Amino acid sequence: MDNREEVREFLTSRRAKITPDQAGLPSGTRRRVPGLRRSEVAALADMSVEYYSKLERGNLAGVSPAVLEALARALQLDDAERAHLLHLAQAADGSDALTRPRHRAATRQWTPHRSLQWTLDAITAGPAFVRNGRMDILAANQLFRAFYTDVYTTPGNQQNLARFTFLDPASRRFYPDWDAFADITVAIVRAEAGRNPHDKDLHDLVGELSTRSNAFRTRWGAHNVRHHGTGTKHFHHHAVGDLSLAFEGLEMAAAPGLTLTIYTPEPGSPSEEGLRLLATWAATRDIDATAPSSTS
């Protein structure tokens, strides 16, 4: 991915999102651009218009942390956007050594330690899995495999949640609020692109989804990024119906770049009963799959 283009489009898109009112500036009546003008961002960041224009053209090489922080304040970046700006600056400097361990850990060839799989298998009350920033599923417990059965049964998904979301029609049934899931998915992948700009598998995934999905291509062009650590999501599973599940995403200290996510229902809720039914359904399917065929 072209770092200059990434920087230019990210800064331009962030500038366009801030209104003069949000920035504490007079709005005026003859504005030709959405959001702030370059001169207004420059003033808010206490730098010259010429210098800010140079940054927005994509040149972050050699920019100091103080300037990046001033830019982040002026553009009102959240934590995920600040981190993304820092990663883009590191890539511009060629100083992405900090991201390389993440890149190695995040490859599809990464194999979970036996103890990790034991840990996942010990989680029986909710779906649990490990993913990388490309949304590859790298390890999972039995309940997760039953929960995301469409991901595993459709070869084209390649056990990747981004492909499932944008290329598999089953995702629109499974995700009642499909647009929100699509937004989150792209924001996670976009953040990973900032952390690992030389990841060929990520380039290939973005190219494939951009070619095959207008919905992905539009969202990718928005340059939104986000941290995705906790919340509640709604699903519709074909075997047990509607489920409302809280989730927690935990960064794995032993494997930088990977996230362990656990979904759990509210105790005593219909969703808790639904997951119990799903666990029974999953166990029955496993028994059926491994039972020897009868002979006549």
**Can you list the domains of the chain with their CATH numbers?**
3-94 (1.10.260.40), 105-290 (3.30.450.180)
Closest CA to 247 of 155, 161, 134: 161
Please name the residues in contact with 147: beta carbons below 8 A apart, sequence gap of 6 or more. Answer: 127, 235, 237, 263, 278
**Helix, strand, coil abundance in the chain, percent, nearest 5:** 55, 10, 35
Q: 10 or 96, which is more confident?
A: 10
Whether the pLDDT of residue 104 is over 90: the answer is: no
pLDDT tens profile 23-42? 998 877 677 777 999 999 99
Which of 52, 67, 6 minimizes the C-alpha distance to 195?
6
- Give 209-272 as a DSSP string: HHHH-HHHHHHHTTT------EEEEEEEETTTEEEEEEEEEEE-TTSTT-EEEEEEPPTTSHHH
Mean of pLDDT over the chain: 89
Instruction: Tell me which H or E stretch contains 190.
Output: helix 178-195
What pLDDT was estimated at residue 101? 44
Q: What is the tens place of the pLDDT at every residue in 268-293?
A: 999 999 999 999 988 887 645 444 44
Rounded to two decimals, the pTM is: 0.86
d(CA 106, CA 100): 10
